[in-house]
Copies of this chain bind each other. A is one copy, B any other.
Amino acid sequence: MEKTIGRMSLYRRLLLDIEKRGASHVYSHELARVAGIGAAQVRRDLMTMGFSGSPSKGYHVADLIGHIGTAIDPPEQQRVALVGVGNLGRAILAYFHGRRPKLAIVAAFDDDSAKVDKVVHGCRCHPLRAMSEIVPALDITVGIITVPAESAQDIADRLVNLDIKGILNFAPAALRVPPGVFVDTMDITTALEKVAYFARKGR
C-alpha cells in the first residue's frame, strides 16, 4: 500500500490538469496513460483508497481530487524541518517555499555561521543546537536531511529523540531508526549510477 499512497499524489497533479482542461469525468485508461502505467493499476489504487467510479462515465474528477485530499493531506498544517542548508537544502527550500500551506518547511538548521540567522527562501536558519528547542515548540513531525553522509545518522538520531515521525533523507547513507519512524531515502548518486548502468546495458 505504500506504493499506492505514493501514486495518489501523482494522480492528483494529473487530475488537476485534466480538470483545468474542462473534463468532468475521466476513465481509468486515460488517467493511466498520462501516469504512464496500466489501467488496472489505476482502478486497483482507487479501489484501495475506497473510491468508486461509474461504469461508462468513469471517475468524477472533482470528487476524486477531493477524496485524494482527505485521504493523504494532513487535516491541519503539518510542519517540517530541514537540516543541512547546502546547495541541495537550499534548492528544496526554494521549491517548497509557499507551495503547500498544509505541509510547510518552517525551520532550517545548519551550523555554518555564514548561514545561521539568515533567512533562506523564506525560512530562517538556526544553529543545530537550537533543534531541541524549536522542533517541539513548532510541533514539527517531519525532518528532511540534506547533510553529508557522515553526519546523517547523528542528525537522524537527534530528530528521532525529538519525536519526529518521518524522515526524508537525501544523504547517501542507510539510516537506522526505531520502529514507528518512517524513512524514505532518496540517494541521488545511487539513482544516477543505476540510470547509467541501464543506459549501457539495456532494460
Contact = CB atoms under 8 A, between A and B. Distances in A.
Interface stretch (A21-29, A125-133, A186-194): A186-194
Copies per assembly: 2
Given A142-B196, A197-B5, A95 B190 contact: no
What is the predominant secondary structure among interface residues of chain A facing chain B?
A: helix
A74 B9 contact: no
Interface residues of A, number: 59
A34 B192 contact: no
Interface of A: 2, 5-6, 9-10, 13-14, 34-37, 72, 74, 78, 80, 86-88, 90-92, 94-96, 103, 141-142, 144, 149, 164-168, 172, 174-176, 180, 182-184, 186-200, 202-203
